[in-house]
Amino acid sequence: MICPICGTEMEQGVIESAEAINFLMTEQFINKPDEANGEFSLARPGMVKRAVKEAFVCRNCRKVIIDF
């Protein structure tokens, strides 16, 4: 993937967590998305698997791009 800011090739990797990886409109005490307000989970952990989502990083711009 090409960085949309600087145009260089981005590095592919993963974002992972022992807990759900969520997009939230504001920081919350409880890690649970409010789907009625546009919040959602990018990845959820399984019984024996951490939450994992493919991600691309540009170290020049210090940006991470994640599909959902």
Pairwise CA distance, residues 37 & 2, whole Å: 31
Among 5, 14, 25, 65, the residue binding Zn ion under the rule CB under 5 A is 5
Q: Choose, by CB under 5 A, the member of 42, 51, 55, 58 that binds Zn ion.
A: 58
Q: How far is the CB of 2 from Zn ion (least distance, A)?
A: 9
Distance of CA 56 to the CA centre of its chain: 10
Does residue number 65 form part of the binding site for Zn ion (CB under 5 A)? no
List the beta bridge partners of residue 11. 57
Token couple for 9: 């090739």
Contact 54, 12 (CB under 8 A): yes
Stretch that binds Zn ion, among 3-11, 13-21, 37-45, 47-55 (CB under 5 A): 3-11
Stretch that binds Zn ion, among 6-14, 18-26, 34-42, 45-53 (CB under 5 A): 6-14
